[in-house]
Structure 1
Amino acid sequence: MEIKGILFDKDGTLLKFNELWIPIANEVIEELLESIGYKENEALKEKLCDSIGLRNGKIDEKGYLASGTSLDIATAFKRVLPKDMPHLHHWLSERLLHKTRENIENVKPVSNLNLLFSTLNDKDIIVGIATSDDYEITKLCLQQLGIDNAVQFIGTADLYKKKPDSEVVEEFCKKFRLKREEVIIVGDTVIDMQLAKNSNARYGIGVMSGIGSYKELSQLAHFVIPSVDYLIEPNDMFIWELKNIT
């Protein structure tokens, strides 16, 4: 069956993860500590970092910073904070958007996305995004990457159930009248590959440009490639067209 649609994860798949999210996470945590009067508390800062999978400047591929939503991160923070913050999720969402604007120069593509998306358009492939991020942050990042006009569907965690729930794939298929077997999921974490499995998408393709390890991705992915550049072979064929996978 012909492939007609691709849903891409955003962070680590289309844009470089560490350059953007490690600085933002540290800045937000520092602001949070200051807002509750614990500005110089390094022990609490370490606990907050650890709660979302940020340890010694490195990202845990299974942590909330890697593939969780803003609500997941807020919930993790609440478990650690010494005082209750009833509106923490709202505060966090606003700060993440603000910090993304402040750090917009760190929104860097993993490869030549304009060429890739132009090629996908020429091949009549419908392109969508399935991310754990919020809508406004996602739009901002896509604009900075210069591909916002090439993306026909944006599925975010504040619009649909979070990955790996299949709702985002179902809505993508419904909007463009696609069958699930005509859709591919591309992402850098095991959550993306679980999304492909849960939604019965044709293929789940893992990319090594983000934070996911080959060991984890290869357990569920049909293909594991260095980056989205490798979706299309030098002979102008898609990678799945060259492989006999059933």
Structure 2
Amino acid sequence: MKLQTNKGNRSVKAILFDKDGTLTNIDNMWVEPTEMVIRKILKPYIKENSTVTIEQMLELLGIVQGEIIPNSVIASGTVEDMLDEIGKYFPIDKVSLYNEVLEDFRQYLLAHPDMIIPIGDVAFLISELKNKGIQVGVVTNDSYIPTKTIFEILNIWHLFDFVATPDNYPPKPVADSLIAASEDLGVPLEDIFYVGDSYLDMAYAKNCGGGIGVLTSGSDVQKMTDESILVLDSVEQLLDYIKGE
């Protein structure tokens, strides 16, 4: 199959997706559980004379007035990135907190499945790509447990041919997961394309055939255009750019 890009038609054999902001709507899903987790973590440390308040910590991580800021730690980083940022200001035990945070997120997702909103008919999109002979995977900076939980709730976990999270590969933009995808799927890197909503995603995609930017999280149109080979309003448009040989 061919992918129509702003740099001409390119052979495509595999497409990998980011998760938050690309396949699922990030606007509401992570605000409440992240605030809940951060308040729980900081409760033992926040004092009247603390130099950083919980509200300021939320802003540093990328939650401002109840909204997630594009390309922030919460939007594009890992749970470890979040804990590292908090650890700059408070003496938390990052190692012991990691699994606790993941379990808190998992329990929240299971209790609030209605908060997980796919961007378009993701099951149809993935199925159609696979019907065209294109292998499909997901590479996310979210951890394995919430990733699997989210996609099981959406009933699409079984559709992925490859999954990479920071629990088994270095986080984006390190290329290890792309190299693993190439080997596991038996596809040359130049025939793999990555779909994402952030500048970090587009930097990661420079290690393969190229980045397909989606504008569903508010990234700057011109910057995404400069950093990608194709820009879409959302993944819902992707099938329009897949053509036969």
Fold shared by both chains (TM-score > 0.5)? yes
* 2:228 corresponds to: 221
User: CA separation in 2, counterparts of 1:213 and 1:103?
Assistant: 31
Structure 2 segments unaligned to the other structure (5+ residues): 1-9
How far 1:80 sits from its partner (Å)?
A: 2.3
Q: Which of these residues, 177, 191, 204, is aligned with residue 168 of structure 1?
A: 177
* 1:85 corresponds to: 93
Kindly provide the CA deviation profile for residues 77-105 of structure 1, in whole angstroms up to 9, marking residues without a partner as x.
11122x44353334323323333323322
Q: Which of these residues, 118, 123, 137, is aligned with residue 127 of structure 2?
A: 118
User: CA separation in 1, counterparts of 2:196 and 2:174?
Assistant: 15
Checking the alignment, whether the CA contact within 8 Å between 2:172 and 2:201 is kept in structure 1 is yes
User: CA separation in 2, counterparts of 1:105 and 1:6?
Assistant: 27
SS in 1 for 2:15: strand
User: CA separation in 2, counterparts of 1:12 and 1:93?
Assistant: 19
* 1:9 corresponds to: 18
Percent identity over the alignment is 27
What letter matches 2:111 in structure 1? E
User: CA separation in 1, counterparts of 2:144 and 2:34?
Assistant: 18
When normalised by structure 2's length, the TM-score is 0.87
When normalised by structure 1's length, the TM-score is 0.87
User: CA separation in 2, counterparts of 1:69 and 1:158?
Assistant: 10
Structure 1 segments unaligned to the other structure (5+ residues): none
Kindly provide the CA deviation profile for residues 130-171 of structure 1, in whole angstroms up to 9, marking residues without a partner as x.
000111111111112221121111100111010001111100
Query: What are the within-5 Å matches in structure 2 for residues 173-184 of structure 1?
Result: 173-184=182-193
User: CA separation in 2, counterparts of 1:89 and 1:115?
Assistant: 34
RMSD of aligned alpha carbons: 2.3
Aligned pairs, number = 234
Q: Which of these residues, 129, 134, 149, is aligned with residue 140 of structure 1?
A: 149
User: CA separation in 1, counterparts of 2:193 and 2:105?
Assistant: 29
User: CA separation in 2, counterparts of 1:31 and 1:102?
Assistant: 18
User: CA separation in 1, counterparts of 2:46 and 2:86?
Assistant: 15
User: CA separation in 2, counterparts of 1:179 and 1:106?
Assistant: 37
* 2:62 corresponds to: 53
* 2:215 corresponds to: 208
User: CA separation in 1, counterparts of 2:102 and 2:35?
Assistant: 15
Q: Which of these residues, 72, 75, 78, is aligned with residue 84 of structure 2?
A: 75
How far 1:27 sits from its partner (Å)?
A: 1.4
How far 1:211 sits from its partner (Å)?
A: 4.1
